[in-house]
Amino acid sequence: MYVVYLRSSPARFAALLVDPKDDLQTSQLQDEIMKSIREEWKTIVQMENKASSNQLLQQRCCFTRWVCYREPMTCLELEQWSMTDKARGLLLSWHPSLAFSANVEQVFAAVEDSCRRGVKNFKASMANLQCLAIRAVEQKLTANENEREAGKTDRARAVKLGVEDFEGNEVRALKALQMDEIGMIFKGSLPACVVDETKVKQGDSRAGMQDCLAEHEQVKVLAFRLQKYLCRMRVEVFSYTIHFVGPRLCDKLGCAAVVRRCQAGQKLLVWMIRSKDIVKVTSESLSQLAAEHGLQIRRNSTKSAKIRALCQLPEVTAACTPAELEALDELLKEIDEKRRKRTKASEAENQEDDEADLLEEEDETMAAARQLLEQVQKQDDEEENDADAEGRKPDEAPDEAADEAAAPAAAEAPGEDVKRASRRLLSSCHAVPGFLTAKFRMRDDVVISHVGHRSNVLPHFQVRLPGEEKYDGKHSCSASYNPDISKEQLDEAIDRVSLLPARQRSMMQAWYICYKFQAESEKNKRRKLSRWTSALALFEDLSAGGSPDVICFNASLSALEKSERWDLALQTLKKMSAAASDPNLVSFNATLSSLARRWVQAIELFSRLPTASLVPDSISFNATAGACERGGQWQVAVALLSHMACTRNPCMVISQNSAISTCERRGQQFHRWLPPTASSWIFGPRT
């Protein structure tokens, strides 16, 4: 399949970039590829000019709409299907020298070869692997001395690094960007973050983070000055958040991000002790910190001793709480204990190595032969076990006819099974425990999912309402839970996910949240049913007592619209005409709004407006266009919008969005189907 991919467009464009080097066979092959590409583009253009073949092309060959396919084709067509400098430059931008997996595999092979030759036991540190990878990529992308002398200038020149380019373990020149306060203010805390309950991770570091500003606090906005550096500074640490700005404000400020910080900062030493990051500082840096604060500590003291001495400084004890200092001291004790165990383990390992050296070592040839015999014996045992499981003799071959019959069936398996199998590698559905359904039983018409993940994502319950039913604007509710918490822990006052973080929820609590969602949805549906039923009953009473006026009819239609009873709304509109109460535009609009997914009835009712001597307004157009959008009728939606544009109706934003959305779903170009007058009025004159 990989060979087929490389021989097909757009991958085969890269073959045109190969330098033939006076090789006649390579040059002829490139000419054949160019001729094949030209014929292919000619066929594509002919198919796109016909509606039936265009639809088939989009379904079967979706790659023909990709920019990486159409842009090189268009450029080659403009260049008369010859490799000019313009065509070569465009193809190089789409197919750089390190763009294909084959080249990446060569880089990995170079790294592996370097590790085998230069690293003992094939165990390289991450820093060494990074250096090897950088060198391999550099050798792949850049030209060496011999190639530059030969005149090959199409590849980049390698960068030569000197001793001054390497910082080593200690940074010699720390530079900091300058930030200035501008005439803008951040007020109060950040808005609540929206959490996706289906993707809550177990070890999320943001769970314990607090906002740097309280509700009553405010600070000025800090903007970066990219060309100004500070080399000497007094360091203070602030909690902060970074906010990205829009294009207009970015042009005004000269940077795309601004900083929101807390009101008061902390000294560097105090912040390192409170955050416990001081344990990551080197022993030499701790000695320098102690000298700056006037402490006399021996240079050969342990890191724990130096940190404990820094914790006794008056400025540290005044800024840190006793609990924070005790927590740091406990961490230092754990580090010391691990260091002592590691020292004892290394001493025991060295002693075992010395004893092993005294023993006679086994010959390498004998060891390899013994290992080979063990592998052969293991393979024979596995074959015998497989034969016993299949009910045949060890020397008997498996049924080849059965294998040949099973092969086409496996080949004909749909791609959906492959996708489902790949999703099963990441997550899987589990049965709902019985104690949950026994305590809180869900409705029979809802769909319940219990999903567990093989990654660090928390498991969750999800309940989906049937049909088009929604509650609080949502069709489903998901609630994650922490499997480490007791399963039956429950607080019935917590019935929404926003009231309790996912890592503090039990399985019963997550199930209860989903249960309350579907129960409240059922109650809300019943309330709506009782409302339109009561309104309809009251309307029937008015009709029995006399002839209701237009206002009564419109009120009844509004209740039916909100209840989505489109059939009763159409019947009420017919009764209105029969009762000698001429329906007005409000009556038609309420009925059109109830036809949310009945585009045929909506178009028919919309066409009756001129007969009733009524001029449709934006509500009429938008309700009808929305019904066409939900029904997938892009031709009707565009025709309706064209009619609306010709009438110069100014309130057409929703209708225009509905038509564009419908065309986008059906893969149609919106502006191609509008008449010139409507298209120029919506988009402006074409140039």
Reported confidence tier of residue 512, pLDDT bands at 50, 70, 90 = very high
Examine residue 185 and state whether it is found in any structural domain, yes or no.
Answer: yes
Q: Are strands 142-143 and 156-157 parallel, antiparallel or unpaired?
A: parallel
40: in domain: yes
Give the count of beta carbons closer than 10 Å to the beta carbon of residue 376: 9
Mean per-residue pLDDT of the chain: 75
Per-residue pLDDT at 567 exceeds 90: no
pLDDT of residue 379 exceeding 80: no
What span, in angstroms and rounded, lies between the C-alpha atoms of 650 and 647? Answer: 9
H helical segments located in 456-500? none
What is the reported pLDDT for 226? Answer: 65
d(CA 262, CA 213): 6
Is there a single domain that holds both residue 448 and residue 501?
yes
Instruction: Identify whether the C-beta of residue 517 lies closer than 8 Å to the C-beta of residue 471.
Output: yes
Do 6 and 84 belong together in one domain?
yes
The domain in which residue 8 lies consists of 2-95
pLDDT per residue over 581-611, tens digit each? 677 788 788 877 777 777 788 878 887 777 7
In a domain, 357, yes or no: no
Which H or E run includes 75?
helix 67-78
Place 634 in a pLDDT band, splitting at 50, 70 and 90: low
Measured torsion, CA atoms of residues 39, 45, 46, 52, in degrees rounded to the nearest 10: 130
pLDDT in tens, 265-292: 888 888 888 888 888 888 888 888 888 8
Same domain, 210 and 150: no
Q: Please tell me the distance from the alpha carbon of residue 575 to that of residue 556, in angstroms, as a whole number.
A: 12
660 part of a folded domain: yes
The answer to the question of residue 579 being in a domain is no
- Boundary of a domain, candidates 112, 130, 157: 157
Residue 575 lies in a domain: no
111 and 72 housed in the same domain: no
Mean pLDDT score, 482-497: 89
User: Quick one: residue 320, left, alpha or beta (phi over 0 = left, psi -120 to 50 = alpha)?
Assistant: beta
Does residue 465 fall inside a structural domain? yes
Per-residue confidence band for 509, with pLDDT thresholds at 50, 70 and 90:
very high
What token pair was written down for 452?
Answer: 């567990």
Distance of CA 93 to CAs 89, 90, 393, Å?
6, 5, 61
As beta bridge partners, residue 187 has 218
- Among 524, 550, 576, identify where a domain stops: 524
Judgement on whether residues 116 and 78 belong to the same structural domain of the protein:
no
| pTM of structure | 0.39
Average pLDDT over residues 226-253: 78
Q: What is the pLDDT of residue 628?
A: 77
Instruction: Give how many domains the chain has, as a whole number.
Output: 6
Give the residue among 266, 311, 273, 281 at the shortest CA–CA distance from 293.
311
Q: Are residues 200 and 260 in the same domain?
A: yes
The CA dihedral of 82, 83, 84, 89, to the nearest 10 degrees, is 140
- Do 514 and 431 fall within a single domain? yes
Question: Which residues are CB-contacts of 396 (< 8 A; sequence separation ≥ 6)?
Answer: 387
Q: Which residue's entry shows tokens 């004909």?
A: 412
83 and 128 share one domain: no
Does the pLDDT at position 655 exceed 60?
Answer: no
Q: What per-residue confidence (pLDDT) applies to 683?
A: 34
Q: How far apart are CA 384 and CA 396, in angstroms?
A: 11
CA distances from 643 to 221, 649, 655 (A): 49, 9, 11
* Residue where a domain stops, chosen among 506, 524, 542: 524
Q: Is residue 439 part of a domain?
A: yes
More confident call, 660 vs 72 = 72
Q: Are residues 49 and 66 in the same domain?
A: yes
Whole-angstrom Cα distance, residue 223 to residue 244? 11
| 180 and 232 fall within a common domain | yes
- Mean pLDDT to the nearest integer, 242-256: 86
